[in-house]
Amino acid sequence: MAGLTDLAGQRVGLDTVIFIYALEGNPKLGRAALEVFSQLEGGLFRGYACDLVLAELIVQPLRLGRDEIVTEYLQELPRFPHLNFCHLTQAVVIEAGRLRGRYSVGLADALHLEATRSAGCTVFLTNDQALSQVESGLRILQLQELSLP
């Protein structure tokens, strides 16, 4: 079992679910996700997320008519300390297609993996067990299995 402190000095890709658990206060894993962001903010590691995260995060607030939350996410998350957003380039999209061709993985997941890998990440933090089967060049860590300080 990996610990959060094992991520020290690394570039870590963050799946959308990590943001959702932290921002929406998931009863089971919200505290763990908040600790990830606390350590990120403190500079333990550098976080990377595909731009697609922003699109995925605003869906529920938009459905609920919570435009102020949408505005907050879009303004504040790109300014979060030690967090970088990765752009979708043609090369990323093509490599994501290759991942989809080799594994039973959805397009969004393939884009998240490839965008963060191409940004130099060596680890990807998620809570999607299916991603553990994808050989993307990233060490896949499950939030639910991560030991916290």
Identify the structural domains of the chain with CATH numbers, from first to last.
4-143 (3.40.50.1010)
pLDDT at position 143, please?
Answer: 95
* Global confidence as pTM: 0.95
pLDDT at position 2, please?
Answer: 82
Q: Low-confidence residues of the chain, pLDDT below 70? A: 1
What is the Cα–Cα distance from 100 to 110, expressed in whole angstroms?
Answer: 6
3-state secondary structure string across 49-68: EECHHHHHHHHHHHHCCCHH
DSSP sequence for 69-109: HHHHHHHHGGGSTTEEEEP--HHHHHHHHHHHHHSS--HHH
